[in-house]
A and B are shown apart, each in its own frame.
Chain A
């Protein structure tokens, strides 16, 4: 089976024995939990669209391993065309879900690990790439969702992993055995973890010699013995428990993050892709972060498309669509959104081949892309709130709207343009609320800031790759400076 249907994906999740805590309780069936299910629906969309002739050109690719059609989320980029299609696919999925569809981290992890493992084997004589390719074959054949897990809790940021008061602040190897390793620690804010079949753990920073036990990369089934998850809260998340479909803003789709805990988890050697080669941890982080910074030039743009559409509808429903300042604000939103897309396309088009054959994005442009993503969605959100008006956050509840008596009052006083039902106006304002400060704001705002690395991480990379000396040379030549 190279492509799972959406239904097969959902059924495959039901077979997992995940241990998930949410709101102080163990969740018996994550797929069916009203807070979790919308996020599962978002991942499910990555399977559904791959079956649709209208979208298969973006959603699928031909495996370089088997020659079979595979989901693009399981594919290694074989050229710049693949890199461009990745961004377009992400924009499409952002448009269809209005949320984080979570599957990108795994795709970005396999692409980063492929080239790093290959180069590590060439230099050090290890056999990590062979093991990785075996894992990748399984991922492609079974159309798996893999959670790329990078971010450690990190404790005291001023201290190296081996200097932390609690040594578990970074995932580490606590025991090496003949048949594998035992790992302990945690990965924080793991996007899509509860909707994943496997997890692919990577180090979170460039390690030094004393941190060799922390330079570890491995894959594990999401329900492996010793792994459990503590589900992250989102603003307005308990609205999903109210049973309505207006106040949630986006009833069908969402995203999620979780704390993933490893309590002495055994990993067989065949699933270990780095163990102590600390010199390569930084390269893996750099490449994963680069791919993931590219990703944001697609997914956030797709959600931005939804938000711009919602803001334009809010203006229509308010009767303000013809006001010149509203038109100008919508133009600005489009301009900002397409700027992000331009960055995503640019870093893809300027990609390059690595020794393993997998293509890497242009790292400078990918970091510029993500740096813009830390800013522009906030401005797009601000403009959406401006256009929506204060009712977005002062509006009565769905229960009141549906109340036999006061519902009529809400119908009357929350009416905008007479031809538009009040309910439509409420729905579109709740959607804007959802993206700008509700559950989806986790993905659209704060994840834009900190996901794939906080703003300063990109500035460091831009500084390294900015080629300042060449620019000085240009200036000296034109200024007639001879040395």
Chain B
């Protein structure tokens, strides 16, 4: 099973339901994908940085070092681009699929 890392910001004043987003993502994944929280023993290949608002305070170098490729969710933005709230999970899943299949597109 391919493990995708999940790191949450602290959630002091989130504009999105972070846990619901991750739950929705899990439903969109194929069975051979799994989501993993905590700190990895080896850097993840791909991970999602789930920040509740555009400040994205967790987006720091030490966090980025935990995975090779990231999808950044910051409020209703994915990789700094606004996304309609109802499409948030879908867009993140598409980004992850891109990273898996192309091995490119590390977010800034």
Query: How far is A91 from B19 in the complex, measured between Cα atoms in Å?
Result: 19
- B contact residues around A388 at 8 Å (CB): none
Within 8 A of A (CB), among B10-24: 10-13, 18-19
* In contact, B12 and A89 (Cβ under 8 angstroms): yes
A11 at the interface (CB under 8 A from B): no
**Is the C-beta of B57 less than 8 angstroms from some C-beta in chain A?**
yes
Contact of A56 among B10, B19, B57 (CB under 8 A): B10
Contact B11 A92 (CB under 8 A): yes
B84 sits at the interface (CB 8 A): no
**Contact residues, A14-64 vs B (CB, 8 A):** 53-59
Q: Is the CB of A57 within 8 A of B9?
A: yes
A88 near B19: Cβ-Cβ < 8 Å: no
Residues in B with CB closer than 8 Å to A55 are 8, 10-11
Contact A54 B12 (CB under 8 A): no
> How far does the Cβ of A28 sit from chain B's closest Cβ, in whole Å?
38
A305 within 8 A of B: yes
* B11: chain A residues within 8 A (beta carbon): 54-55, 58, 92
Check A154 for interface membership: any CB of B closer than 8 A. no
Tell me, in angstroms, the Cα distance from A13 to B49 when the chains sit together: 36
In the assembled complex, the Cα of A37 lies from the Cα of B43 at a distance in Å of 43
Closest to B19 in A: A54
Contact with A along B51-87 (1 / 0, CB 8 A): 0000001100000000000000000000000000000
* Residues of chain A contacted by B38 (CB below 8 angstroms): 53
Asked if B37 lies at the interface with its beta carbon under 8 angstroms from chain A, I say yes
Q: With a CB–CB cut-off of 8 A, which chain B residues contact A77?
A: none
Contacts of A430 in B (CB 8 A): none
CB-defined contacts of B19 to chain A, threshold 8 Å: 54
A58 touches B18 (CB 8 A): no
Chain A CB within 10 Å, residue with most, of B6, B10, B18, B38: B10
Question: Given that A88-B10, A89-B10, A92-B12 are contacting pairs, would A57 and B58 also be in contact in the complex, using a CB cutoff of 8 Å?
Answer: yes
**Interchain CA distance A440-B12 in the complex, whole Å:** 21
Query: In the complex the two chains form, is A59's CB within 8 Å of B6's CB?
Result: no
* Chain A binding surface SS class: helix
A382 CA to B94 CA, complexed, in Å: 48
Task: Let me know if B37 and A58 touch, CB within 8 A.
Answer: no
Q: Give min CB distance, B16 to chain A, whole Å.
A: 12
A85 contacts the other chain (CB 8 A)? yes
Q: A89 contacts which chain B residues (CB < 8 A)?
A: 10, 12
Query: How many residues of A are in contact with the other chain, CB < 8 A?
Result: 15
- Once bound together, how far apart are the Cα atoms of A309 and B11, in whole Å? 17
Using known A-B contacts A53-B37, A53-B38, A57-B58, determine if residue A91 contacts B13 with beta carbons closer than 8 Å: yes
Binary CB contact string for chain A from 303 to 339 against chain B (1 if under 8 A, 0 otherwise):
0010000000000000000000000000000000000
Measured CB to CB, the closest approach of chain A to B34, in angstroms, equals: 15
Complex CA–CA separation, A88 to B9 (angstroms): 11
State which of A53, A56, A58 has its C-beta within 8 Å of the C-beta of B12. A58
8 Å CB contact of B8 from A53, A85, A305: A53
- Give the CA-CA distance A81 to B10 in the complex, in Å: 13
B10 to chain A: closest residue by CB = A58
Would A57 and B8 count as touching, CB distance under 8 A? yes
| 8 Å CB interface, A71-101 against B | 84-85, 88-89, 91-92, 95
Residues of chain A with a CB closer than 8 A to B58's CB: 57
Q: Which residues of A contact B18 (CB under 8 A)?
A: 54
Residues A349-369 near B (CB distance < 8 A):
none
Q: Is the CB of A59 within 8 A of B13?
A: no
B6→A92 contact, CB < 8 A: no
How far does the alpha carbon of A58 sit from the alpha carbon of B38 in the complex, in Å?
14
Known contacts A54-B18, A54-B19, A88-B57: A59-B37 contact under CB 8 Å: no
Measured CB to CB, the closest approach of chain B to A97, in angstroms, equals 14
Bound-complex Cα distance A59 to B10 (A): 7
- Kindly list chain A residues whose C-beta atoms are within 8 Å of the C-beta of B13: 88, 91-92, 95, 305
**In the bound complex, what is the Cα–Cα distance between A243 and B61 (angstroms)?**
51
**Least CB distance, B7 to chain A, in whole angstroms:** 8
A292 to chain B, nearest CB (A): 19
Q: Measured between alpha carbons, how far is A109 from B9 in the docked complex, in Å?
A: 27
Query: What residues make up the interface of A, taking CB atoms closer than 8 Å to B?
Result: 53-59, 84-85, 88-89, 91-92, 95, 305
Q: What are 8 contact pairs spanning A and B, CB under 8 A?
A: A53-B6, A53-B37, A53-B38, A54-B11, A55-B8, A56-B10, A88-B12, A92-B13
| 7 further A-B pairs in the complex, CB-CB below 8 A; given A56-B10, A58-B12, A85-B10 | A53-B8, A53-B38, A57-B8, A57-B58, A88-B10, A91-B12, A92-B13
Interface residue ranges, B against A (CB under 8 Å): 6-13, 18-19, 37-38, 57-58
4 closest cross-chain pairs (CB), A and B: A58-B10, A88-B12, A53-B37, A57-B10
